[in-house]
Amino acid sequence: MKYLWIAIAAGSLLSGCSLENKPENTEKMSKNTITKTVLNTETPAPVAKKVPHKMEAHGVTRTDDYYWMRDDSRTDDAILAHLELENNYVEAVLAPLKNTREALFEELVSRIEKDDSTVPVLDNGYWYYTSYSGENEYPVYLRKPTLDANPQVLLDANIMSKGHDYFSIGSYAVSENNALMAYSEDTLSRRIYTIYVKNLKSDEKLDDVLEGTSGNVVWANDNTHLFYVKKDPQTLLGYQVYRHELGTPQSDDVLVYEESDPTFYTFISKSKDDSVIYIHHQNTDKTGVSIVDANNPTSPAKIFLPLKNGQEYSVAKAEDGYYVLTNIDAKNFRVMKAPLNATGDVSKWEDVIAHRPNVFLQGIEVMKNHLVVKEKENGMLRMVVHNLTTNEEKVIPTQDPIYGAYFYANPEMDTNTLRIHYSSLTTPASIVDINLDTLDSEVMKQTRVSETFDSSAYKSERVSIEARDGTEIPVSLVYRKDKFKKDGTNPLYQYAYGSYGATIDPTFRSSWLSLVDRGFVVAIAHIRGGQMLGRQWYEEGKMHRKINTFTDFIDVTKGLIASQYADKNGVFAMGGSAGGLLMGAVVNMAPELYRGVSAHVPFVDVVTTMSDASIPLTTGEYSEWGNPANKDEFEYMLSYSPYDQVEKKDYPNMLVTTGLHDSQVQYFEPMKWVAKLREYKTDDNLLLFKTDMEAGHGGASGRFKRFESTALEYAFVLHLAGVPL
């Protein structure tokens, strides 16, 4: 899906150019001094050749002069050479910012604890955790039988990554007898993983090698069989679930489930009590699960409840039944309980938490005696503990009025302790253990920012901006108290996503301090297309109402300027993936509002991509954007598709980023878009295009290396804003 890596996009590159390029853009922002550094704007920008390619549909003929840039093999010399020209152009233009970039990089990585480890998690008799040390880019995965015991190294990604430009461990799973470990790795950044198995007693690899997988792996309880999902090599959709028996070749593996509907994503997991293996079926607006008996792995998969259009459900097994989070007769979801032997008969289910039209249920966590529900009302998060013995309900107290939190590593069923990951725009990421009986909490770890960081120096706000149709759009803001004037002089960095129902919660990002500490206001616009205000909020920003996503973002910008949160000459916008589509639409619709716009791995060639079922992940998203085979959906997508709507007019300073091996938004979408923008735009503002030749959708894999792109972004933003380093 194009939304899976939105968190990474927030730390990527942002565009812009020298203010000296265009006389009408050289006005100083109030109370800010323009920096004297002059970018190398005399360097000629790369110009792509044009090879007309006609496409016809529903009586409409489109000519794509840059269609030639698509090469699924990623070996075409002309394409690779052009990408290198673009990268060289970026470096040449930004050469004067080299020292600034280096200083910002050091500042960003200084907020990372070099010697660091996660909080250990108890699972099946062992404490599992990961550890980083020194200058190492990757974690070491460890376990120990007791907290005071010497750890056993399970995987050392620093050693495993040697010889690879990109390296990622997808997931790992330990067998029920704690003797074997299956793990997956990707060395290309296409999210196609190879699964290996090692003996944890001898530390030796077994001969079993499973290729072409999603990286997802689950053990059966016999310590002999494991389940995995195989991907279609062309579309990259995980669609086949296989059962593998140790000691046999992959060619002998048994197909357990095959998804014939290309609009579905398939993945697997295991119940908390380890008795059931789940096969998850996920469409944009239709979800469900099939189950396999983990104690009888050769038994067939059985559907929990037949799938139905518009029906969504997820399940969590308890000792006496399944808790089901579902939208059956409940637009904003409710929690029901299904008997173990009657999952397919909803009439035998019982309500546990009834549907409330104004409360959106996001997730549940089940323990032996407690059910914890993550829910939102008016966009404000709360976590509610339901005691299954006494039926008492309690809200977990938090220190911030607006925050983000999620359930974090709770593999044990028989416990009264809940672990959550908690943060706000002013509170660094924290791992918190909560006693579900008393609600007493203990911060097990809080991410270190710096020796001088003081959260009280910052303030976050939730404001509401009226959109053009009268809808109130919530916006989360953060700024440094002693730098914020609220007189229209602060530069603004506005971020949003707005697709797939993904909610961007107001959580802490240490990289934003490099902007906030220099006087920026950072805003998260909770636009329609997400689910900040419930399922209706999502439905009002998809398919034939997608335009609301774009106009909401624009109206938030205008509203923040009018409310004097932002300098009208110093607004920067950023979005990635489907948020990159947002950026593409915004610069077509209201380019005059933004001094700089950053579009990371942007999904911008909507009609062409959605018309080609061979492009990875296309078919799985028909219910999000539409299917161009349908005339009305084709025409609506065409009306906003950033690539198709490029016009001869002025555009803001822009920097577009991609990864050559991106499996979610193919590199050629932004490549084509930049070429067309260069041809059409009538301004002298810079248009820069940066391709990571080793990485994919999520960028660089190392914990330090990824901040090189952030440093580049912020150096350029600060230059454009006229804010000295």
Instruction: Using the predicted structure, report yes or no on whether residue 10 has a pLDDT greater than 70.
Output: no
Q: Which residues pair with 155 in a beta bridge?
A: 141
Extract the tokens encoding 138: 């990757």
Instruction: Using the predicted structure, report yes or no on whether residue 664 has a pLDDT greater than 90.
Output: no
Closest C-alpha among 376, 465, 359, 366 to residue 411: 366
Q: What is the pLDDT of residues 335-354, one digit of tens each?
A: 999 999 999 999 999 999 99
The residue type of 716 is F
Instruction: Give yes or no: 697 in active site.
Output: yes
| The pLDDT of residue 540 | 97
| The pLDDT of residue 654 | 94
Q: Which of 82, 244, 281, 697 is catalytic?
A: 697
Instruction: Give yes or no: 148 in active site.
Output: no
Q: Which of 175, 577, 641, 663 is catalytic?
A: 577
The residue type of 408 is Y
Confidence of residue 705 (pLDDT cuts 50, 70, 90): confident
| The pLDDT of residue 7 | 31
The whole-angstrom separation of Cα 100 and Cα 95 is 10
Q: Are 328 and 343 in contact (CB under 8 A)?
A: no
| The pLDDT of residue 696 | 60
Instruction: Using the predicted structure, report yes or no on whether residue 418 has a pLDDT greater than 80.
Output: yes
The residue type of 244 is H
Q: What is the pLDDT of residues 18-77, one digit of tens each?
A: 222 332 333 333 333 334 688 988 899 999 999 999 999 999 999 999 999 999 999 999
pTM above 0.75, yes or no: yes
At 591 the three-state DSSP class reads: helix
Residues in the chain: 725
Instruction: Using the predicted structure, report yes or no on whether residue 12 has a pLDDT greater than 70.
Output: no
| The pLDDT of residue 289 | 98
Mean pLDDT of 418-447: 97
| The pLDDT of residue 233 | 84
The whole-angstrom separation of Cα 130 and Cα 565 is 41
| The pLDDT of residue 19 | 24
Confidence of residue 695 (pLDDT cuts 50, 70, 90): low
Q: Which of 662, 692, 709, 719 is catalytic?
A: 662
Closest C-alpha among 243, 247, 184 to residue 213: 184
| The pLDDT of residue 621 | 87
Closest C-alpha among 347, 535, 326, 273 to residue 336: 326
| The pLDDT of residue 285 | 84
| The pLDDT of residue 715 | 87
Mean pLDDT of 554-572: 98
Q: Are 516 and 508 in contact (CB under 8 A)?
A: no
Mean pLDDT of 540-558: 98
The whole-angstrom separation of Cα 709 and Cα 72 is 25
Instruction: Using the predicted structure, report yes or no on whether residue 106 has a pLDDT greater than 60.
Output: yes
| The pLDDT of residue 135 | 85
Mean pLDDT of 202-231: 96
Give the least confident one: 20-29, 62-71, 283-292, 604-613: 20-29
At 579 the three-state DSSP class reads: helix
Report the Cα 492 to chain-centroid distance in Å.
Answer: 22
Task: Please identify which residue in the block is written with the tokens 């053990």.
Answer: 219
Q: How many CB atoms lie within 10 A of CB 576?
A: 33
Q: Sort strands 204-219 and 225-231 into parallel, antiparallel or unpaired.
A: antiparallel
The whole-angstrom separation of Cα 160 and Cα 557 is 46
The mean of the pLDDT values for the chain is: 91
**Could you tell me what percent of the chain has a pLDDT over 70?**
94
Mean pLDDT of 181-196: 91
Higher pLDDT among residues 189 and 430, named by residue: 430
Instruction: Using the predicted structure, report yes or no on whether residue 14 has a pLDDT greater than 80.
Output: no
